A and B are shown apart, each in its own frame.
Chain A
Amino acid sequence: MIPAQFDYVRPDSLAEACAELGSDEDAKVLAGGQSLMPLLRLRLAYPSKLIDIGRLDALKGVHDRGDHLFIGALATHDEVMRSPLVTAACPLLALAAGHVADPATRHLGTFGGSLAHADPAADLPAAVLALDGVLVAASAQGEREIPAARFFVDYLETSLRQGEILSGVKIPKLGPGWGFHYEKFVRTAQAWAVVGVAVAVKRSNGSIAEARIGLTNMGATPLRAHAAEAALRGVELGDQVRQACEEAAAGSSPPADLHAQPDYRRHLARVLTHRAVRAAAGSP
Chain B
Amino acid sequence: MSVQEVGRPRRRKEDARLLTGRTRWTDNLTRPGLLHVMFLRSPMAHAAISRVDVSGARGLPGVVAAFSGQDFAAEQGSLPCAWPRAADTVIPEHPPMAVSGVRYVGEAVACVVATDRYRAADALEAIEIDYEPLPAVLDMERALAGDSPKVHETGNRAFDFTSTHGDVEAAFRDAPVVIDRTYVQQRLIPNAMEPRSVLCDTDGETYTMWSATQIPHILKVMLAMVTGVPEHTLRVIAPDVGGGFGSKLQVTPEEVLCLLLARKLGRPVKWTESRSEGNLTVHHGRDQIQRIRLAADADGRVRGLQVRLLADMGAYLALLTPAVPLLGAQMFNAIYKMDAYEFACTGVFTTKMPTDAYRGAGRPEATFGIERIMDELAAELRMDPLEVRRRNWIRQEEFPYTTISGLTYDSGNYEAATDRATALFGYDKLRAEQADRRDKGDPVQLGIGVSTYTEMCGLAPSRWFGSNNAGAGGWEHGSVRVLPTGKVEVITGSTPHGQGHVTAWSQIAADALGVPFEDVSVLYGDTAIAPKGLDTYGSRSLTIGGIAVLKACEKVRDKARRLAAHLLECSPDDIEFEAGAFRVRGTESQKTLQELALAAFTGHDLPEGVEARLDSDATFDPENFSFPHGTHLCAVEVDTETGMVRIRSYVAVDDVGKVVNPLIVDGQIHGGIAQGVAQALFEEAVYDADGNLLTTTMADYLLPSAADLPDFTLDRTESPATSNPLGVKGVGEAGTIASTPAVVNAIVDALRPYGVNDVRMPCTPERVWRALGAEGVRR
Contacts and interface: CB of A to CB of B under 8 A. Distances in A.
A20 to B, nearest CB: 24
A236 to B, nearest CB: 18
Nearest to B273: A1
A189 B708 contact: yes
B700 A258 contact: yes
A185 B766 contact: no
B690 to A, nearest CB: 16
Nearest to B117: A2
Contact of A188 (B122, B682, B770): B682
Interface string A219-256: 00000000000000000000000100000000000000
Interface in A168-201: 185, 187-192, 194
A144 interface: no
B699 interface: yes
A4 interface: yes
Interface stretch (A64-72, A73-81, A106-114, A259-267): A259-267
Main secondary structure of the interface of A (DSSP, over half): loop
Main secondary structure of the interface of B (DSSP, over half): loop
B766 A261 contact: yes
A188 B766 contact: no
Contacts of A267: 769, 775-776
Interface string B744-775: 00000000000000000000111001100001
Query: Which of A42, A185, A188: most chain B Cβ within 10 A?
Result: A188
A188 B117 contact: no
Interface residues of B, number: 32
A188 B325 CA distance: 30
Nearest to B118: A2
B462 to A, nearest CB: 42
Nearest to B645: A187
B120 to A, nearest CB: 8
Interface string B278-312: 00000000000000000000000000000000000
A191 B764 CA distance: 14
Given A1-B276, A258-B686, A264-B769, A192 B699 contact: yes
B766 A260 contact: yes
Contact of B764 (A189, A192, A259, A271): A259
B319 to A, nearest CB: 27
A23 interface: no
A268 interface: yes
Contacts of B723: none
Contacts of A42: 276
B705 A189 contact: yes
Q: How large is the interface on A (under 10, 10 to 19, 20 to 34, 35 or more residues)?
A: 20 to 34
Contacts of B769: 264, 267
Interface in B116-137: 117-118, 121-122, 125
B729 to A, nearest CB: 32
B704 A188 contact: yes
Contacts of A242: 779
B676 to A, nearest CB: 16
A261 B779 CA distance: 22
A191 B118 contact: no
Contacts of A187: 682, 702, 764-765
Contacts of B19: none
A264 B766 contact: yes
A5 interface: yes
A31 to B, nearest CB: 20
Given A4-B125, A189-B708, A268-B642, 15 more contacts: A1-B121, A2-B117, A185-B642, A185-B765, A188-B707, A189-B707, A190-B705, A192-B699, A258-B694, A258-B695, A259-B764, A259-B766, A261-B766, A267-B775, A271-B641
23 contacts: A2-B117, A2-B121, A2-B274, A4-B125, A42-B276, A185-B642, A188-B682, A188-B704, A188-B705, A188-B707, A188-B708, A189-B705, A189-B707, A190-B705, A190-B707, A242-B779, A258-B694, A258-B700, A259-B766, A264-B769, A268-B642, A271-B641, A271-B642
Interface of B: 117-118, 121-122, 125, 274-277, 641-642, 644, 682, 686, 694-695, 699-700, 702-705, 707-708, 764-766, 769-770, 775-776, 779
Interface of A: 1-2, 4-5, 42, 185, 187-192, 194, 242, 258-261, 264, 267-268, 271-272
